[in-house]
C-alpha cells in the first residue's frame, strides 16, 4: 500500500486556475443536486488562531478525503502564511490512504474560484470594474480567478498595509490597478471582493450602489463580519452552505443578533448552478455571495490533481502501512 506525496510546486504544475474554476463549479452543481456528503467544519481554537477539519465525499467522482487547515492572522509577522493546509485522500472502496498533499495553494485557488463562479451567476454581465478590500493572498486569487471568467478593465484596492505592493504586482500582470480609499473602492465597484479577517463591519451600506455584486470572503469563523448588516437587508444573499454560513460566514453575526432571519437568505450557490433557483434577476439587484469554503471544493480539486499525478508519474510514493 503506497501513498502519493505532492508538494505545492508539484500541484501547480499539474493543474491550472481555469481548471480549478471548472472543478469548483461542478462541485457546487453536485451539492445543489444533493449528491455529496459534507459534514460541517469542526473548529479547534487556540489563543492566536484555530484549525478546522473538513471532510467530504463526492460519489460521482469517487472522491473522498479530508482537509486540515489553520487560520493564524498574526503569522505574516513571523514569516509564515496566515493559512496553511494539508489534504488527505482516501479510497471510498477500502478506506486506504491514497495521497497526502499540500493544501495551501489549493485552498487559495478554490476560494478564488468560488468567487469567480458566484460572479458568473450573480454579477451583472456588463461588470468591468473590480474593487478589492484587503491585499493579502485571497485578494490576489479573487482577482486572478475573476479575470478567467470576465474582462476586468479596472481594479481598485484598499488596504492599510500592502495596497502598494498589491497594485505593483497586478500592474506587472497587465491589470489597470490603483490604490484608493475604501469608500471609493466600494462606490465604483461592479464586483466587490472583501478579504479581511475583521470582526467589525468596514463596508458601509451607503457606499454600495444598486447592481453591485459582493463576494464576501473574509468572514470564515464565528464573530467575523465585513459588511454593514443593512447591506444584507437590501441584497439577495446566496451562501455556499447554509449551516456553515449561519455559524461562521458573513451572516453569522447579524443572525445571532436578530438583525437578519435565516428566511432572508435566498439560497445556496449550488442550487443556482444546478438550475434549481435563479441567479441575478435584474440589473438593479444587489447580490452577496457569502463564502465560507467547502470541503467538496478541496477534495474535488485534490482528487483531480491526484489522478493527474498518477497518470504523469508526479510526486513521491511512500509505504505507510507494511
Q: Which residues are catalytic?
A: 67
- Residue whose cell numbers read 428566511: 263
Q: Which is it for the CA torsion 22, 23, 25, 29, positive or negative?
A: positive
Question: Which of 20, 23, 3 has its CA nearest to residue 11?
Answer: 20
Q: How far apart are the first and last CA of the chain?
A: 7
Q: Cα angle at 52 between 48 and 58, to 5 degrees?
A: 160
Contact 72, 48 (CB under 8 A): yes
Task: Tell me the C-alpha to C-alpha distance, in Å, between residue 46 and each of 41, 71, 86, 247, 317.
Answer: 16, 10, 18, 18, 34
Distances from the Cα of 178 to the Cα of 125, 163, 168, 169, 251, angstroms: 23, 8, 9, 11, 30
Distance, CA of 125 to CA of 2 (rounded, Å)? 48
Contact assessment for residue 273 and residue 28, using Cβ atoms and an 8 Å cutoff:
yes
Residue found by looking up cell 468560488 in the block: 114
Question: 309: part of which helix (H) or strand (E)?
Answer: helix 295-312
106 and 100 in contact (C-beta within 8 Å)?
no
Amino acid at each position: 500500500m503506497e501513498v502519493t506525496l505532492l508538494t505545492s510546486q508539484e500541484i501547480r504544475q499539474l493543474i491550472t486556475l481555469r481548471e480549478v474554476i471548472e472543478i469548483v463549479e461542478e462541485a457546487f452543481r453536485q451539492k445543489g443536486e444533493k449528491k455529496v456528503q459534507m459534514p460541517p467544519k469542526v473548529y479547534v481554537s487556540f489563543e492566536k488562531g484555530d484549525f478546522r477539519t473538513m471532510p467530504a465525499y463526492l460519489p460521482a467522482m469517487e472522491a473522498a478525503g479530508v482537509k486540515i487547515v489553520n487560520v493564524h492572522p498574526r503569522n505574516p509577522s513571523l514569516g509564515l502564511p496566515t493559512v496553511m493546509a494539508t489534504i488527505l485522500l482516501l479510497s471510498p472502496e477500502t478506506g486506504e490512504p491514497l495521497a497526502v498533499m499540500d493544501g495551501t495553494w489549493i485552498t487559495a485557488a478554490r476560494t478564488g474560484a468560488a468567487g469567480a463562479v458566484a460572479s458568473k451567476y450573480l454579477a451583472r454581465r456588463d461588470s468591468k470594474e473590480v474593487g478589492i478590500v484587503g491585499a493579502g493572498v485571497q485578494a490576489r486569487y479573487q482577482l486572478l480567478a475573476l479575470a478567467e471568467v470576465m474582462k476586468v478593465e479596472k481594479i481598485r484596492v484598499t488596504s492599510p498595509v500592502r495596497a502598494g505592493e498589491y497594485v505593483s504586482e497586478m500592474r506587472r500582470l497587465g491589470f489597470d490597478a490603483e490604490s484608493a480609499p475604501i469608500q471609493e473602492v466600494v462606490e465604483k465597484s461592479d464586483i466587490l471582493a472583501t478579504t479581511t479577517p475583521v470582526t467589525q463591519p468596514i463596508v458601509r451600506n451607503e457606499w454600495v450602489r444598486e447592481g453591485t455584486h459582493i463576494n464576501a470572503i473574509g468572514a470564515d469563523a464565528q464573530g467575523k463580519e465585513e459588511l454593514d448588516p443593512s447591506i444584507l437587508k437590501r441584497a439577495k444573499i446566496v451562501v455556499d452552505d447554509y449551516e456553515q454560513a449561519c455559524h461562521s460566514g458573513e451572516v453569522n453575526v447579524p443572525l445571532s443578533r436578530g438583525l437578519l432571519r435565516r428566511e432572508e437568505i435566498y439560497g445556496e450557490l449550488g442550487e443556482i448552478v444546478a438550475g434549481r433557483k435563479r441567479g441575478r434577476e435584474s440589473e438593479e439587484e444587489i447580490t452577496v455571495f457569502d463564502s465560507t469554503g467547502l470541503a467538496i471544493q478541496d477534495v474535488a480539486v485534490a482528487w483531480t490533481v491526484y489522478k493527474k499525478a498518477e497518470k504523469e508519474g508526479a510526486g513521491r510514493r511512500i509505504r505507510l502501512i507494511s
